[in-house]
Structure 1
Amino acid sequence: MAMQQVAPRSMEGGAAPAPAPPGTDMTGICFRDQLWLNSYPLDRNLVFDYFALSPFYDWTCNNEQLRMRSIHPLDLSHLSKMTGTEYMLNEVMEPHLFVIRKQKRDGPEKVTPMLTYYVLDGSIYQAPQLCNVFAARIGRALYYISKAFTTAASKLEKIGYVDSENETPLESKVSKEAIDFKEVKRVDHILASLQRKLPPAPPPPPFPDGYIPPPTAEAEKGPETQQAGEPQQPSVDPILDQGPAKRMRF
């Protein structure tokens, strides 16, 4: 950042020519007067005199009129009775931070904020507007996101290129592998020996009382030989279809 300094007032009867009113966008510059900081303390009473040396100061403001009348430039009892551009000390954290707000006064209680400045450890800056802060942050985020996608895409292209070079058809791998019948017989022998070592399977549980097994193939042929008038019992599960009345009593 450029360091700018305004020439002090002339002591030989009269004042130095006032500089042009500061522009709206002066966020790219910084003001610091080390000689003044070495000579005077930076507190709430003298910070405005230090701010008046910077190029951010508008010499046509109401505060300057109070200074010409030997009144403290931040005296609100006098500023509230005036109209026009003025500066107000908004926040103070002595001796490191002072926030000064430029505003337009249309009445005792009607003011419109314009710009904000802050004095940080003796250096004066113009605070950027909120829309400019959001635009800068979003632009920076988009830059890093785009850079991340570009890096990821380049790595994926390299991975795909290596895989395409080393890729071999699955069928060719299977065809190259010959079947070893000795190994197959060995596996069968191991499985048979394990099966012999296992205990025999337990017998199936008995059917419940009254259960009629489903008809087999021979039973299906039976109805053809049976007489037409002879009734047939339906193959039902007495436990499921006949309910608790057929259950055994102990």
Structure 2
Amino acid sequence: MSATPLPPLMQPPAPPGADSAAALPPPPGTDMTGICFRDQLWLNTYPLDRNLVFDYFALSPFYDITCNNESLRSRQIHPLDMSQLTKMTGTEYLLTDVMEPHLFVIRKQRRENPEKSTAMLAYYILDGSIYQAPQLCNVFASRISRAMHHISKAFTAASSKLEKIGNVETESDAAASESKTQKEAIDMKELKRIDHILSSLKRRLPAAPPPPPFPEGYVPPASEQEKAPDDKLSSEALPTQVDPIIDQGPAKRPRFQ
């Protein structure tokens, strides 16, 4: 038994004028810098030079069909003929710079009289690819935004490194203070231990004997003569002792006649 085919789904009716609007290319806007146009078939068929470059540009969505150049094309006149464009008013395209066959610069401008025109936009054809040149204010805004991004990134990296350095310094200071405390505690223990040893040795050893007296005829230096009177009294109070080795009287030398 064969299945009964389902009827096709009914599509909603298209609004009036939708087919004609879809057939026409979108109108060129003021900001189309994100669009790139390239027709490789046309480039393989025709050479890209100053005579045919405008015909190639007319295929792109950047082209405004209401310009004066299109009016000249409809009358079989070259669209870049300046002798004819200066006699007209309105929007027009002008070929400003040429480096065949790689670079072509086209400027869109509004002409008010044969001597006065106002630039609107600029387009360039680079190796067959058509781009819209960004406006100067957009270039400055992009450069400033990029610079601010890098500056903000640099400050973020610097602040993170400073935080790490502060944490390391805090940890090192804490470790240094702890080691210093431990070192001081160890030094105090050693100091008490040495004092205890010295005091025990002092108790075991007898008192030191008094110093020997000066030999007869010895004159002490000036520094010793300027001592306090207490020192003199203490030295005089001590009993005089004679050293049998040092005090042996004047030397006896033979006299030769």
Matched AA of 2:72: L
- How do 1:6-17 and structure 2 match up within 5 A? none
Matched AA of 1:26: M
1:33 corresponds, among 18, 22, 39, to: 39
**Deviation digits for residues 77-128 of structure 1 (CA, Å, limit 9, x no counterpart):** 0000001100000111111110000000011011000000000110000011
Structure showing greater radius of gyration is 2
2:69 corresponds, among 63, 67, 70, to: 63
State percent identity of aligned pairs. 72
Report the TM-score, using the length of structure 1 for normalisation.
0.62
RMSD (CA atoms): 2.2
Distance in 2 separating the partners of 1:66 and 1:83: 13
* Aligned counterpart, 1:50: 56
Q: Gaps spanning 5+ residues in structure 2: where? A: 1-22, 189-257
Report the TM-score, using the length of structure 2 for normalisation.
0.60
CA apart distance, 1:166:
1.6
Distance in 1 separating the partners of 2:119 and 2:54: 18
1:130 corresponds, among 128, 136, 146, to: 136
**Deviation digits for residues 190-231 of structure 1 (CA, Å, limit 9, x no counterpart):** xxxxxxxxxxxxxxxxxxxxxxxxxxxxxxxxxxxxxxxxxx
Report if aligned partners of 1:18, 1:59 keep a CA contact under 8 Å in 2. no
**Deviation digits for residues 162-191 of structure 1 (CA, Å, limit 9, x no counterpart):** 111121239748846969xxxxxxxxxxxx
Q: Is the aligned partner of 1:77 residue 2:80?
A: no
CA apart distance, 1:18:
4.8
Distance in 1 separating the partners of 2:59 and 2:186: 89
Matched AA of 1:146: S
After the TM superposition, which parts of structure 1 deviate over 3 Å for at least 4 consecutive aligned residues?
17-20, 169-179
- How do 1:97-136 and structure 2 match up within 5 A? 97-136=103-142
- How do 1:1-250 and structure 2 match up within 5 A? 18-167=24-173, 168-169=176-177, 172=181, 175=184
CA apart distance, 1:21:
2.8
Q: Gaps spanning 5+ residues in structure 1: where? A: 1-16, 180-250
Distance in 1 separating the partners of 2:48 and 2:171: 71
CA apart distance, 1:28:
0.8
